[in-house]
Amino acid sequence: MGKTVLLAEFGRRAAALGYLHEHLEADEHAKLSAAMGTLLRKVLLRLNAKHLRSSYVREALGVLKGFTIYWNPLPGLVIDGPPISGPADSGDLAVDVCGLLCEVGKAAQAHRTGVFLTIDEIQYLERGDFGALVLGLHRAAQLSLPVMIAGAGLPSLLALAGEAKSYAERMFDFPSIGSLAVPEAGEAIAAPAAKEGVQWEDPAIQMVVERTQGHPYFLQEFAKQAWDAAPGPVHIRLSDVKASLETTMAELDAGFFRVRFDRTTDAERAYLRAMASLGPGPFATSAVAKVLGRTTNQVGPVRDGLIKRGLCYAPRWGQIAFTQIPARPVDAPGFSRGTGARLPSLFACSERAILWT
């Protein structure tokens, strides 16, 4: 839905404001201890390059070295200077991440800057790791330290945050990034082409918007293939969109769905087919089980496997839905799914962090 692009833009704006920005793209094997060691080492080395004699930076580097010796003793992760024991090497990950973030925040604050981390696919973090991250941010906020995180993940992220720490929902904003409304979807198609002196005809735009339901990635792929199919020089017509449909669907099948689908088991594929046969979601898990001729409990492990792979999520208890199928646009104020709502200014949240779903 474009969440990765949003994170990149957030990082760009943070850097322009003088913040020390680092980015992490999590995966199924992500470990918070390793990620924090790598990201914060980069932050502190950049800070150290500007303030060579800073006692704050030296102390934070020592705490980081103590943290990495205990949690992530990799030979390639070199940190000069002696380790400092106490703040971040207790063996309790939540306590140690908290101590590490606070030390780095103090060093940044002493030099009138801030630390801004962006994490993509944050739903891959284990519950304990996510809880440690939340605790660290909470403590940094209590001390008014300039440490902030913007994360992006699948719709299951809200539930993960609540399970990790009960107060997480009060700490984070959870704006949903859904399908664009019809006018915005049309603009997303036509405006970039207009800058290149090319005009989309209205029937062509209408067909692309109808086919994609405003899903940002689908809009991009449909528009690209229609552009390539059009003879030009200055118009893209309905006939060009129709001529490119077969290529577009082949590209989406190969590049958007297949990577995750190829990693599924036969039982998981059967479950996905059963979901698709029921029409637009979300679906009652009991209804999916009925299509398969099984009970809900019998197919529970299959459902859980699909959620872990990021192909499905549970909107509420007893329901299942596809993560990659765009919602139909709806009219609602604020950050409502499918509205294409305005984005907040980067640091408008003050002591709150932002998690995009």
What pLDDT is recorded for position 333?
28
Q: Collapsing DSSP states into helix, strand and coil, what is residue 239?
A: helix
Distances (CA, A) of 309 to 2, 65, 218: 19, 34, 21
Which ranges constitute the DSSP H helices of 72-126?
A: 93-110
* Integer CA distances (angstroms), 271 to 265, 299, 305, in order: 10, 8, 11
* pLDDT at residue 162 in the model: 72
Q: How does 68-100 read in b/e, with b if 16+ C-beta sit within 10 Å? A: bebbbeeeeeebeeebbeebbbbeebbbbbbbb
Neighbours of 9 (CB within 10 A): 14
* Global pTM value: 0.73
CATH of segment(s) 266-322? 1.10.10.10
74, 53 Cβ separation under 8 angstroms: no
Average pLDDT over residues 337-346: 30
- Cis peptide leading into 155, omega within 30 of 0? no
Residue 340 has pLDDT above 60, yes or no: no
- Can you name the residues that pair with 150 across neighbouring β-strands? 118, 354
Confidence at residue 55, expressed as pLDDT on a 0 to 100 scale: 92
Q: Can you give the length of the chain in residues?
A: 357
The domain segmentation of the chain, as residue ranges, is: 3-175+342-356, 182-261, 266-322
Taking the alpha carbons at both ends of the chain, their separation in whole angstroms is 9
Reading the block at residue 261, the tokens are 């689908």
20-25 vs 283-284, strand pairing mode: unpaired
Peptide bond into 233 cis (omega under 30): yes
Q: CA nearest 214: which of 180, 186, 191? A: 180
Looking at domain 3-175+342-356, its CATH class is alpha beta
Residues 182-261, CATH architecture:
Orthogonal Bundle (1.10)
Distance (Å, whole) CA 214 – CA 185: 5
Between CA 347 and CA 351 the distance in angstroms is 9
What does the pLDDT look like over 124-161, one tens digit per residue?
888 888 889 888 998 999 999 999 989 888 777 777 77
